A and B are shown apart, each in its own frame.
Chain A
Amino acid sequence: MELGLVVEHYVLLASAIFAIGAIGFLMRRNVLVQLMCIELMLNSVNLTLVAFNRRHHGDMNGQMFAFFIIAVAAAELAVGLAIVLQFYRLRGSVHSDEASSLRH
Chain B
Amino acid sequence: MTAGSLLFAVCAALCLAGALLVVTAKNPIRCAMGLLTTIVGIAGLFLRLSAQFLAAMQILVYAGAVVILFVFVIMLLGPAASGEAAPPQRPSISQLIAGAMVAVLGVLSLGLIGYGDSHAFELIGQSHGSVAAVGSRIFKEGLVPFELATALLLVAVVGAIAVARSKPAGHKAKPAKEENPTRRMFQGPVNRPGAAGAARENV
Interface residues of A (CB under 8 A from B): 1-13, 15-17, 19-24, 26-30, 32-33, 35-37, 39-40, 43, 46-47, 50-51, 53-55, 57, 59-61, 63-64, 66-68, 70-79, 81-86, 88-90, 92-95, 97
Contact = CB atoms under 8 A, between A and B. Distances in A.
B45 A47 contact: yes
Majority-rule SS of B interface residues: helix
A86 B166 contact: yes
Contacts of A27: 23, 87, 94-95, 98
Nearest to B55: A50
Given A15-B109, A64-B134, A9 B28 contact: no
Nearest to A5: B121
A40 B66 CA distance: 12
Nearest to B167: A89
A82 to B, nearest CB: 4
Nearest to B32: A36
Given A3-B8, A39-B66, A30 B84 contact: yes
Nearest to B98: A23
Interface stretch (B75-83, B180-188, B191-199): B75-83
A14 B29 CA distance: 24
A50 B120 contact: no
Contacts, number: 247
Interface string B28-51: 100110110011001001101111
Majority-rule SS of A interface residues: helix
A84 B152 contact: no
Interface string B120-158: 111010001100011001100110011001001101110
B32 A74 contact: no
Interface string B94-134: 11011001100100110011010011111010001100011
B84 A29 contact: yes
Nearest to B83: A93
A13 B15 contact: yes
Given A29-B85, A51-B49, A43 B121 contact: no
Interface of B: 1-2, 4-5, 7-9, 12, 15-16, 19-20, 22-23, 28, 31-32, 34-35, 38-39, 42, 45-46, 48-51, 53-54, 57-58, 61-62, 65-66, 69-70, 73-74, 76-77, 80-85, 87, 94-95, 97-98, 101-102, 105, 108-109, 112-113, 115, 118-122, 124, 128-129, 133-134, 137-138, 141-142, 145-146, 149, 152-153, 155-157, 159-161, 163-164, 166-168, 170-171
Contact of A70 (B61, B84, B109, B159): B61
B139 to A, nearest CB: 11
B74 to A, nearest CB: 6
B105 A19 contact: yes
Contacts of B142: 64, 68
B194 to A, nearest CB: 23
